[in-house]
Amino acid sequence: MIEFDNVTRSYGAKVAVDGLSLSVPRGELFAFLGPNGAGKTTSIKLSVGLLRPGSGTVRVCGYDVTEEPREAKRRISYVPDEPYLYEKLTGREFLRFVADMYGLSPERAEANLQREIGHFELAPFVDHLTESYSHGMKQRLVFASALLHDPEVLVVDEPMVGLDPRSIRLVKDLLQKKASEGVTVFMSTHILSLAEEIGQRVGILNHGKLLFVGTLGELKQRMSRHDQSLEELFLQLTQGQVTESLLGRTSSDDVATTNGHESVKRQMLESPPIAEGM
């Protein structure tokens, strides 16, 4: 699971993440939403150890990402919005390189490599140099490499960028399957229809503050707008068209939900007031 405990991160005078408290349990597919500049990418980089918080704590599977980075990173995988590869390696060589970095045995590495080549339909190009790949091919290879070591937490930033419709369907199915198997999936996306389709809960961030966390049904209930889509609700909320009294304040309730056959506790975190001028 991923836990943000009152996390703040600034760049000079600009506060990118402001007191973020959020818990995403095992086996949940969580959609993290917000307009450009809201602080989503900073939050993601904090969760995978690429940035240190100015204050607060980020934990992955109970390990402090700052204090226990090796233990945390063994349990997590990160798929960025832009795939970065070693262009003079073939796809297969890149996968073997990643498997070596995670310390997989030769037998396990080869078995998992073949598994992911099949999952992402890489066979037609996996032995070509990655410099010849299209963006979509690179993205599929990066997904495959992220799953080689069977992570407990998968963090994905804009996973559908540059993918064709068939690859989009493949990734959607994969993310849902991983969550059903108990993997925590933390997904940042601008595609609100994607969050509405596959996200079990959504978190909405703006100006570094968490405005809402919960299910789409809970968002509609709090805003008393049951006939509107997530896109309509998101725009109203992030453009300041919803007052705090209309949105309501989220109490710290434990909401029981079922992932497969396992019931997990979800903590509804208190939604901070909407900032002035939003």
Instruction: Work out whether strand 184-188 and strand 76-79 pair parallel, antiparallel, or are unpaired.
Output: unpaired
Calculate the dihedral angle through the C-alpha atoms of 45, 37, 228, 21, rounding to the nearest 10 degrees. 50
User: Which pLDDT score is estimated for 199?
Assistant: 93
Count of Cβ atoms closer than 10 Å to residue 20 Cβ: 26
pLDDT band for position 241 (50/70/90)? low
* Tens digits of residue pLDDT in 97-156: 999 999 999 999 999 999 999 989 999 999 999 999 998 899 999 999 999 999 999 999
pLDDT of residue 229: 80
8-state DSSP, 272 = P
Judged against a pLDDT cut of 70, whether residue 275 lies above it is answered with no
The pTM of the full predicted model, rounded to 2 decimals, is 0.81
Neighbours of 263 (CB within 10 A): 9
Question: Of 12-16, 102-106, 252-256, where does mean pLDDT reach its minimum?
Answer: 252-256
Distance CA 256, CA 272 (A): 23
How high is the mean pLDDT of the chain? 84
Tracing tokens 């299209």 back to the chain, one arrives at 134
Instruction: Indicate the DSSP class of residue 123.
Output: T
Compute the distance between CA of residue 184 and CA of residue 156 in angstroms, rounded to an integer.
11
Q: At what angle do helices 230-238 and 216-223 cross, to 10 degrees?
A: 60
Residues 160-193: tens digit of each pLDDT: 877 888 888 988 999 999 999 999 999 999 888 8
3-class secondary structure, 270 = coil
What is the average pLDDT across 5-33?
95
pLDDT of residue 5: 97
